Structure 1
Amino acid sequence: MPTAKTARKSAGKPAGNLLYAQSGGVTAVINATAAGVIEAARARKVRVLAARNGILGALREELIDTSKESAAAIRALGHTPGGAFGSCRLKLKALDADRARYERLLAVLQAHDVRWFLYNGGNDSADTALKVSQLAAEYGYPLTCVGVPKTVDNDLAVTDCCPGFGSAAKYTAVSVREAALDVAAMAETSTKVFVYEAMGRHAGWLAAAAGLAGADADAAPHLILFPERPFEEADFFAKVKATVERVGYCVVVASEGIQTADGRFVADAGGGKDSFGHTQLGGVASHLAGRVKDALGYKVHWALPDYLQRSARHLASKTDVEQARAVGKAAVEYALKGMNSVMPAIVRSSDAPYRWKIEPVPLSKVANHEKKMPANFIRKDGYGITAAARKYLEPLIRGEAPPPYGRDGLPQYVTLKNVAVKAKLPPFEG
């Protein structure tokens, strides 16, 4: 059972260690947040431990000593995609339902004198950080927990946008624009319909970002399918046919999470549910392509970019990179000030020129809340974005922040040493 421990004090140096963990699907810029955390902590002479494979590593007491990494490696981490320490999909349940695992986590934190816990993830991760802070308070252990925002889906509550989304949005808009030029070049004798699948389970933010690829009625994407609107196949077929007859071809962007009016996912991958209770999706583009071919007789191609959307650091948004670093730095500042159970949120102060700042928000207002697109962001016919959506989205994909390239023509990404910290507790079972 965890017990309180008297904090060590040393002149000019905060007592204890900081534990950073990544959660859920990684993004092109989550490592930029990690770099922001580590550099800010080093500036305050605080040692940062990282959990190997997220919360699972924390439970297993598989911790990494980031002080073994050079300053150059941490700088390079800022332009490297993936999750440098590993992430996982593991949701801890309510305190009473999952108490043994929460107590194990607290015991690990105590064993390694962790006084600040930074959990970099989405809605469920904010909930976990909140519960860990509550348990620590129950046992009288001095621990400050801070949630750090991350998700390509842009569905995190309170914050104006989520680090990770801007880069995925830029990749989506650029990919759709380039693919549309390809389709247009061949439409006379080849492909008439192209279907692009975008990530987004319940919120169509990435599908909406594809709308930035074209500005007028006949520019691709011609049709966007949002999870916020029920999918009606007959109406969709009619829109595709009308577009092909008017433009000569039709580019469709479909969110993976589109549903029929009765709430059934159009593309259920049949892979069951993950630990977060999410149905495995994927394949909506191939499904729609087959249905269009059968119903309308057009030659159809489709694309499922999948992980490419969230790993494309070579095409990252500069705005996104800057925001990812900023939330990491702010999280450390909040933690060392003892601001418990908060998250650094991005606040938009101006659209034109685009200006933003970071402010703390309570985790209780973030945990398990989902931000869907406002109704006024979706065109009245349900198949495109509005001027209001464009005004919101455009600043988030602005600017380029390419990684350095080597003589071999490939980006120079870093692989950290990830030196393990010696375990102090019995192996984790559960």
Structure 2
Amino acid sequence: MGGDDAISVIFQSSPPPGVGYSRNPVVTQNCNALYAQAGGVTAVINSTAAGLIAAWRQQAPAGARLFGARDGIVGLLEERLVDLSALHEPELDMLGYSPSAALGTCRHVLQPEEHARLVAVLQRHRIGTVFYNGGGGAARACGDILAIAQAAGYPLNVVHVPKTIDNDIPDTDACPGFGSAAKYLATSLREASLDLAAMAGSSSKVFILETMGRYSGWLTAACGLAARHPGEGPHILLLPERPFDEERFLRRVRETVDRYGHCAVAASEGLTGANGELLHATGQRDAAGDRQLGGVAPWLAARVTARLGYKCHWSVADYLQRSARHLVSATDVAQARATGQAAVMIALAGERHFSPVIRRLADDPYRWDIVAAPLAVVTAPERRVPADFLTADGYQLSAAGRRYLAPLIVGEDYPPFRDGLPDYRIPAFTDISLSP
């Protein structure tokens, strides 16, 4: 990844950056930039925003402005822009501690009739660089934005800034947002498993936790970190990468209950059957055309109760796993912020049409840096969980999987608390004038 001549920015722990980028930024006629957030939020996407804004203020050419688009690409089309350059240090600090997405996001595929409008807004505000912070859908949107600008003869640098709790963007060691969601889920499953074990003698014997992950099971695999010793939950991991076999699953549940008295299960919302079909999905689709998922846990619980007679509880983590800023991974926060910083520094050094991705240098202690990957690389098909990250039976985390996942959830970065609750405050962004 990246190659020997890749632009590389070192961001390990807290040392200041200073490797592989120029302090003489490339200046063009369209010297302003735009930042927007896209897709499902993460607990640390605002840390990326804070890092990017801070780097722009420190490194951009004098007079160059950084705009923010409300609600992603939709806000750009509707010219709902704010001045991010005006944020002060205390506001950036607050932003970095906030969950959700401070500017708002969207799931929107650009339509042919919107192309001219897109270019017109970019020209109007002299925007030469677009930073689009999102997952795979945002990466594809970056490709669309670039193609539209090129067709119009408009000089534009398009930078995909990665984030997704699904952890499925190619060519990066981990996606900002994943480590924190993984930490929340593994913590929740460890605690729920202890609850289950206490009640199993006379009550529920099976608990099923449903995680997000449309096509890949990274979050479900991360739940396996909760088990440190034999017999600890989760006892069964169900990933999209392994076709679901109901008879085999029920047999494993019965064996686990017979042996330990209870069985904790982590299951991906994108669980598939032998023919690759989704086992549970609604008929609804989002703006990008993806089917709405959710409901695998109650479906599995109904099968367990009907076939085995066990009392079964289930939970769907849903938004909770991606919004839990109170229990983020310090590693994830550092990577999220560094990714935003690197996006600016690498772009100002002259690199074009890229994504700043994380490269693992060592497992223990965990060391990493950031390199520029071409847009074409990060828009490739989703990265799936490798087969060797699971045990041979496919139901538990292997040593290789644990070695990869464990460093990503390390460390805590608590937000400030007030009256017993996190004291979250989204900065008040200043709308820019829309007059010519």
- State the SS of the aligned residue for 1:35: helix
Mark the CA change 1:108 to 1:12 in structure 2 (over 3 Å): closer, same or farther. Answer: closer
Q: 1:285 aligns with which of 282, 297, 312?
A: 297
Q: Distance in 1 between matches of 2:149 and 2:350?
A: 14
Q: 2:120 aligns with which of 101, 104, 107?
A: 107
Matched AA of 2:57 = R
Q: Distance in 2 between matches of 1:261 and 1:103?
A: 45
Q: Distance in 1 between matches of 2:241 and 2:109?
A: 25
Q: Does 1:74 align with 2:92?
A: yes
1:18-417 paired onto structure 2 within 5 Å: 18-44=33-59, 45=62, 46-92=64-110, 98-270=111-283, 272-406=284-418, 408-417=419-428
Residue 287 of structure 1 and its aligned partner are, at CA, apart by 1.0
What are the ranges of 5 or more consecutive residues in structure 2 without an aligned counterpart? 1-24
Q: Distance in 2 between matches of 1:263 and 1:166?
A: 27
The question of whether the paired residues in 1 share the 8 Å contact of 2:71 and 2:103 is answered with yes
Residue 424 of structure 1 and its aligned partner are, at CA, apart by 4.7
Deviations 1:204-230 (A, max 9, x none): 000000000003331100001010011
Matched AA of 2:97 = H
Structure 1 range deviating more: 137-146 or 37-46: 137-146
- State the SS of the aligned residue for 2:274: coil
The question of whether the paired residues in 2 share the 8 Å contact of 1:23 and 1:121 is answered with yes
- State the SS of the aligned residue for 2:67: strand
Structure 1 range deviating more: 124-133 or 389-398: 124-133
The question of whether the paired residues in 2 share the 8 Å contact of 1:144 and 1:338 is answered with no
Matched AA of 2:66 = V
The question of whether the paired residues in 2 share the 8 Å contact of 1:26 and 1:83 is answered with yes
Deviations 1:139-190 (A, max 9, x none): 3323211110000000001111100000000001111001111111111111
Aligned pairs, number: 408
| 2:430 matched residue in structure 1 | 419
Q: Distance in 1 between matches of 2:98 and 2:328?
A: 11
- State the SS of the aligned residue for 1:245: helix
Deviations 1:276-316 (A, max 9, x none): 22111001111111111111111111111100000001100
The question of whether the paired residues in 1 share the 8 Å contact of 2:26 and 2:348 is answered with no
Normalising by structure 2, we get a TM-score of 0.90
Matched AA of 2:304 = V
Matched AA of 2:423 = Q
Matched AA of 1:61 = E
Q: Distance in 2 between matches of 1:313 and 1:285?
A: 24
Residue 130 of structure 1 and its aligned partner are, at CA, apart by 2.5
- State the SS of the aligned residue for 2:129: strand
Structure 1 range deviating more: 204-213 or 413-422: 413-422
Q: Distance in 2 between matches of 1:311 and 1:370?
A: 23
The question of whether the paired residues in 2 share the 8 Å contact of 1:145 and 1:335 is answered with no
Structure 1 range deviating more: 82-91 or 69-78: 69-78
Residue 110 of structure 1 and its aligned partner are, at CA, apart by 0.9
Matched AA of 2:170 = A
Mark the CA change 1:304 to 1:126 in structure 2 (over 3 Å): closer, same or farther. Answer: same
Matched AA of 2:41 = V
The question of whether the paired residues in 1 share the 8 Å contact of 2:26 and 2:349 is answered with no
Residue 116 of structure 1 and its aligned partner are, at CA, apart by 1.2
- State the SS of the aligned residue for 1:183: helix
Matched AA of 1:63 = L
Q: Distance in 1 between matches of 2:114 and 2:288?
A: 16
- The percent identity for this pair of structures is 50
What are the ranges of 5 or more consecutive residues in structure 1 without an aligned counterpart? 1-10, 93-97, 426-430
Q: Distance in 2 between matches of 1:245 and 1:138?
A: 65
Q: Distance in 2 between matches of 1:60 and 1:81?
A: 25
Residue 421 of structure 1 and its aligned partner are, at CA, apart by 1.9
Residue 335 of structure 1 and its aligned partner are, at CA, apart by 2.0
- State the SS of the aligned residue for 2:371: strand
Structure 1 range deviating more: 286-295 or 416-425: 416-425
Structure 1 range deviating more: 342-351 or 274-283: 274-283
Q: Distance in 1 between matches of 2:363 and 2:128?
A: 38
Residue 138 of structure 1 and its aligned partner are, at CA, apart by 3.5
- State the SS of the aligned residue for 1:210: helix
Residue 118 of structure 1 and its aligned partner are, at CA, apart by 0.2
The question of whether the paired residues in 2 share the 8 Å contact of 1:133 and 1:340 is answered with no
Q: Distance in 1 between matches of 2:208 and 2:235?
A: 10
The question of whether the paired residues in 2 share the 8 Å contact of 1:28 and 1:312 is answered with yes
Normalising by structure 1, we get a TM-score of 0.92
Q: Distance in 2 between matches of 1:174 and 1:151?
A: 19
Residue 65 of structure 1 and its aligned partner are, at CA, apart by 1.4
- State the SS of the aligned residue for 1:91: coil
Q: Distance in 2 between matches of 1:244 and 1:182?
A: 15
The question of whether the paired residues in 2 share the 8 Å contact of 1:55 and 1:88 is answered with yes
Return structure 1 stretches of 4+ with deviation > 6 angstroms: 11-14
Residue 14 of structure 1 and its aligned partner are, at CA, apart by 7.2
Q: Distance in 2 between matches of 1:413 and 1:349?
A: 34
Q: Distance in 1 between matches of 2:218 and 2:403?
A: 13
Residue 413 of structure 1 and its aligned partner are, at CA, apart by 1.2
